[in-house]
């Protein structure tokens, strides 16, 4: 797919504009016409992998990714068109008045906006703010749908990598992780860090109701900890609290029972959600076990600092535990 070609260019940090192979161009044309593309992903990957430039590491990364069936995703065509627009300078991005350095920016590609209408209980913002340097896109689009979550994360990361490639002095990015699908997230993390040029990973405080210290997510942190070129940075953003009841994920925000209007998730619950995730990383010892990972929490660490001391005292032996240097 076009994605893999673009990511290859991003990995080389080249400024040369890509010229697509005829097959890739035809996929983009089809997508622009609203047609489904149906070129076997595998054959395109072979095209790429056989090139003289492909080194062992990126070949490996691509091999893991041919398991993602992008062609079956209803939003993939729109993503390709969007990536192609950045590539060809047709993205409507005007950075001429950019003047600030901002490290907490949400990027909202047009195809994502069409999929995720609200974020933190407010309408998902429709614009790409234009002065940013570090960006990340949360992934909270599909619950209980591994194929869509993994595919969407992949497309968002390729989009972010293309943005960085097109504006190398303007953007860095944290890659979106398709958690709680741990094996897929491990592959995507390695690929994003080694091939796409992500500076770190973007996580949510909970992924489908699992907080970051949950044992089901430990293999992800173990694999990331063991990935070369650390320390790796995870930027953690609050999300809506969710709880699984009888198999169904429901919103677990008690203040909503009082007044939805007064307690907007994005403006109130996020601070408590941040504290929960920090507590969970701490009490599970994810923080102290996996010292090759550093964390960045937004919103001044939410409500955590005010309870940190009391909380840590409840964890046997924690204060004596080894800390990262
Ligand atoms: C969950 O399922 C059980 C058994 O069907 C039922 O008794 C219970 O009321 C359900 N709980 C909720 C919160 O829906
Ligand atoms: C961290 O290490 C401790 C001690 O080996 C272990 O009990 C705990 O399960 C580990 N936690 C995680 C999240 O790996
Ligand atoms: C995490 O990585 C660090 C740095 O390589 C290492 O010292 C530590 O033992 C690793 N943690 C685990 C649980 O393997």
Residue recorded with tokens 């069409």: 114
Of ligand 2's atoms, which has the minimum distance to the CA of residue 289? 1
Beta-ladder partners of 112? none
Answer yes or no: is the C-beta of 245 below 6 A from any ligand 1 atom.
yes
Of ligand 1's atoms, which has the minimum distance to the CA of residue 246? 1
- What residue owns the CA closest to ligand 2's atom 9? 284
Residues contacting ligand 3 via CB (< 6 Å): 225, 289-292
What pLDDT, on the 0 to 100 scale, is given for residue 55? Answer: 40
What pLDDT, on the 0 to 100 scale, is given for residue 203? Answer: 95
CB 111, CB 82: distance < 8 Å? yes
Nearest to 163 by CA among 198, 195, 139: 198
What pLDDT, on the 0 to 100 scale, is given for residue 183? Answer: 95
Q: Say which ligand is closest to the CA of 285.
A: 2
What pLDDT, on the 0 to 100 scale, is given for residue 71? Answer: 65
Answer yes or no: is the C-beta of 248 below 6 A from any ligand 1 atom.
no
Q: What is each CA distance from 287 to 48, 99, 178, 221, 282, in whole angstroms? A: 38, 35, 20, 9, 6
In the reported structure, the alpha carbon of residue 227 is separated from the centroid of ligand 3 by a whole-number distance in angstroms of 10
Beta-ladder partners of 203? 236
Nearest to 156 by CA among 212, 101, 116: 116
CB-count exposure of residue 261 (10 Å: 0-12, 13-18, 19+): exposed
Q: Say which ligand is closest to the CA of 246.
A: 1
- What residue owns the CA closest to ligand 2's atom 5? 289
CB 109, CB 159: distance < 8 Å? yes
Structure-token pair, residue 58: 């990126």
Q: Can you say whether the dihedral through the CA atoms of 164, 191, 153, 64 is positive or negative? A: positive
What pLDDT, on the 0 to 100 scale, is given for residue 139? Answer: 54
Nearest to 322 by CA among 295, 287, 294, 296: 287
CB-count exposure of residue 1 (10 Å: 0-12, 13-18, 19+): buried
Nearest to 25 by CA among 75, 87, 68, 67: 87
In the reported structure, the alpha carbon of residue 213 is separated from the centroid of ligand 2 by a whole-number distance in angstroms of 10
- What residue owns the CA closest to ligand 3's atom 10? 290
Residue 221 has a CB neighbour count (10 Å cut-off) of 24
- What residue owns the CA closest to ligand 2's atom 2? 289
Q: Say which ligand is closest to the CA of 219.
A: 2
Please report, in tens digits, the pLDDT of each residue of the chain (325 residues total). Answer: 333 333 333 333 333 334 455 555 665 666 666 555 444 333 333 333 333 343 443 333 333 344 677 767 778 778 888 888 888 777 777 777 777 777 777 777 877 777 776 666 667 766 554 334 445 444 556 788 888 888 888 888 988 888 888 888 888 999 999 999 999 999 999 999 998 999 999 999 999 999 999 999 999 999 999 999 899 999 999 988 999 999 999 889 888 777 767 787 778 889 999 999 999 999 999 999 999 999 999 888 999 999 998 998 898 888 776 665 5
Structure-token pair, residue 93: 């991005």
In the reported structure, the alpha carbon of residue 227 is separated from the centroid of ligand 2 by a whole-number distance in angstroms of 18
What pLDDT, on the 0 to 100 scale, is given for residue 42? Answer: 35
């Amino acid at each position: 797919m076009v994605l893999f070609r673009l990511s290859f260019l991003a990995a080389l940090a080249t400024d040369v504009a890509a010229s697509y192979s005829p097959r890739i161009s035809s996929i983009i044309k089809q997508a622009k016409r609203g047609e489904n593309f149906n070129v076997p992903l595998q054959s395109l990957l072979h095209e790429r992998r056989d090139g003289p430039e492909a080194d062992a590491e990126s070949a490996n990364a691509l091999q893991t990714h041919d398991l993602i069936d992008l062609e079956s995703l209803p939003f993939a065509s729109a993503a390709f068109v969007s990536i192609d627009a950045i590539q060809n300078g047709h993205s409507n991005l005007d950075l001429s008045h950019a003047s600030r350095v901002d490290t907490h920016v949400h990027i909202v590609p047009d195809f994502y906006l069409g999929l995720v209408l609200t974020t933190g209980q407010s309408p998902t913002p429709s614009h790409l703010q234009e002065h940013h340097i570090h960006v990340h896109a949360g992934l909270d689009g599909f619950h209980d749908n591994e194929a869509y979550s993994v595919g969407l994360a992949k497309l968002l990361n390729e989009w972010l990598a293309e943005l960085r490639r097109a504006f190398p002095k303007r953007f860095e990015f944290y890659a979106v992780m398709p958690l709680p699908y741990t094996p897929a997230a491990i592959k995507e993390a390695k690929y994003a860090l080694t091939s796409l040029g992500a500076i770190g990973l973007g996580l949510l405080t909970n992924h489908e109701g699992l907080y970051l210290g949950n044992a089901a997510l430990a293999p992800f942190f173990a694999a990331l900890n063991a990935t070369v070129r650390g320390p790796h940075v995870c930027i953690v953003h609050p999300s809506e609290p969710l709880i699984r009841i009888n198999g169904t994920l429901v919103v677990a925000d008690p203040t909503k029972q009082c007044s939805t209007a007064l307690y907007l998730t994005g403006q109130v619950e996020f601070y408590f959600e941040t504290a929960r995730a920090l507590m969970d990383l701490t009490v599970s010892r994810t923080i102290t076990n996996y010292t090759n990972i550093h964390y960045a929490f937004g919103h001044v660490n939410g409500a955590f600092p005010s309870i940190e001391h009391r909380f840590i005292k409840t964890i046997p032996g924690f204060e004596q535990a080894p800390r990262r240097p």
